């Protein structure tokens, strides 16, 4: 799929940007919690990826590789800013379908916000595997590769993250 030969670096950049920008941007948003900062992180991620594309050993795992770069870049940005902002617009974190009744929309938004808050309170290590697994739909092997940790560690972190999420949400009633 990604083993295509591109005429120039610009063509390759356009393909990767079109193919992976949504996932990279979502990852950046989840780390920074700021849409504008996430755009900067996504842009920097693609710059770093294009500069270091020759270091990618297995092109099949490019999505995991890009998400790892995005996560590291977001952490770098946050470290430089020395801040961890809260979301300004909770509605941007939820997507409600247009056909739902107003009551269902409100319940869905409140539930999504409660889940987001519970996930945001987790340690970065637990939050990271949870988001990569369920938000980005990466396999355990891809998460293992992206985070450079054994697959067993991914499984145990995922189990701990789900348990903590369940405990935090058990008191929530929409």
pLDDT at 161: 92
Residues 6+ apart with CB under 8 A from 91: 109
Angle between helices 62-81 and 35-51 (to 10 degrees): 130
pTM: predicted TM-score of the whole model, two decimal places = 0.49
> Is residue 149 very low, low, confident or very high in pLDDT (cuts 50, 70, 90)?
very high
Helix (H, G, I), strand (E, B) or coil at 85: coil
- Give the list of residues 6+ apart from residue 167 with CB closer than 8 angstroms, or none: none
pLDDT at site 8: 66
Contact in structure between 6 and 15 (CB atoms under 8 Å): yes
Query: pLDDT at residue 80 above 50?
Result: yes
Rounded to an integer, what distance in angstroms lies between the CA atom of residue 47 and that of residue 35? 19
What is the average pLDDT across 55-80?
82
Q: Is residue 83 predicted with pLDDT exceeding 60?
A: no
Q: Which domains does the chain have, with CATH numbers?
A: 8-85 (1.10.1740.10), 91-174 (1.10.10.10)
Q: Helix 151-169 to helix 124-134 angle, to the nearest 10 degrees?
A: 100
Better-scored residue on pLDDT, 88 or 160:
160
Residue-wise pLDDT for 105-140, tens only, equals 667 778 878 888 888 888 989 988 988 888 888 899
| Number of CB atoms found within 10 A of residue 100's CB | 12
pLDDT: is 113 or 87 the higher one?
A: 113
């Amino acid at each position: 799929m990604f083993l295509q030969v591109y005429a120039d670096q610009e063509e390759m950049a356009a393909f990767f940007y079109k193919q992976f920008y949504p996932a990279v941007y979502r990852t950046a948003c989840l780390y920074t919690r700021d849409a504008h900062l996430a755009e900067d992180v996504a842009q920097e991620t693609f710059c770093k990826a294009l500069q270091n594309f020759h270091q990618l050993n297995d092109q099949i795992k490019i999505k995991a590789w890009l998400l790892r770069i995005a996560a590291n870049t977001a952490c770098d940005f946050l470290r430089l800013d020395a801040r961890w902002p809260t979301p300004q617009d909770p509605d941007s974190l939820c997507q409600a379908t247009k056909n739902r009744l107003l009551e269902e929309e409100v319940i869905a938004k409140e539930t999504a916000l409660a889940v987001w808050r519970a996930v945001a309170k987790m340690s970065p290590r637990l939050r990271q595997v949870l988001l990569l697994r369920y938000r980005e739909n990466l396999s355990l092997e891809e998460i293992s590769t992206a985070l450079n940790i054994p697959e067993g560690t991914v499984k145990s972190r995922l189990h701990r993250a789900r348990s903590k999420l369940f405990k935090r949400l058990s008191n929530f009633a929409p």
